[in-house]
Amino acid sequence: MKITFLGTGTSQGVPFIGCPCPVCQSDNKKDNRLRSSIFIETPEANIVIDTGPDFRYQMLRAGVKRLDAVIYTHGHKDHIAGLDDIRAFNYFQNMAIPIYATLETQAGLKREFSYIFSEFTYPGIPQITLNTINGEDSFIINGLTITPIKTLHYKLEVLGFRIGDFTYITDANFIAPEELDKTRGSKAIVLNALRNEPHISHFTLAEAIDIAKSTGIQDTYFTHISHQLGLHDVVDSNLPPGMHLAYDGLVLEF
């Protein structure tokens, strides 16, 4: 399994428009962060988790030629806004793209992309097939088993996912003990770490570090990072052993 971090930034990305701070003005490519998403490649399937506003560019930058499914964590704009750009995969693969999402997330997709779901359609709109998932039951894509992990993003339920030895969790500020138990035994876990100061709906870096330590997982990567966290190289060099800031283009292989 190969994991590519398509984006590791928060909802506004880094650099933040018009911001003069050292992170936003940095010439280090690791300080440039598109909206959070990952691309999973296995012998069974090519899967994207979340299609944010940068989806088109992320697909081009990563050289993705085939897409077998999209899985959504939740329905916020920075995680769904790029859905329209799956049209290229419709065209070259001559198929509708399977979408996996909760009913609540599907409702968000239908609000944002009403023309996809309209009774009266027209040529060229995205072709998708909706598949309903929940936080209780594992599901299978092309023989690949995916286990949802329920988290809270303030009051909104957001799903993380475990696929084999890899666990991905973003946009969370609470994970119940029984849900965190689903991550144990992973070789690597990804957690959101927005900034150092407390936030109503995201883990701080310190909170994410504590959660990672409690799992006993060997390697941790932090994502959904804002410009407020600090310069990549400075923050990364001060993390505990086995913990790293993810960055756009980072590749993990299992």
What pTM was computed for the model?
Answer: 0.97
Separation between Cα atoms, residue 148 and residue 159, nearest integer Å = 6
- Residue 124, Ramachandran bin (φ over 0: left; ψ between -120 and 50: alpha; else beta): left
Cite the DSSP H helix spans in the chain.
Answer: 55-62, 77-80, 87-93, 103-112, 114-117, 177-180, 205-215, 232-237
Boundaries of domain holding 26: 2-253
| Mean pLDDT of the 32-52 span | 97
Separation between Cα atoms, residue 251 and residue 103, nearest integer Å = 31
207-233 confidence digits (pLDDT tens): 999 999 999 999 999 999 999 999 999
The CATH number for 214's domain is 3.60.15.10
> Domain total for the chain?
1
46-101 confidence digits (pLDDT tens): 999 999 999 999 999 999 999 999 999 999 999 999 999 999 999 999 999 999 99
Give the gyration radius of the chain's Cα atoms: 17
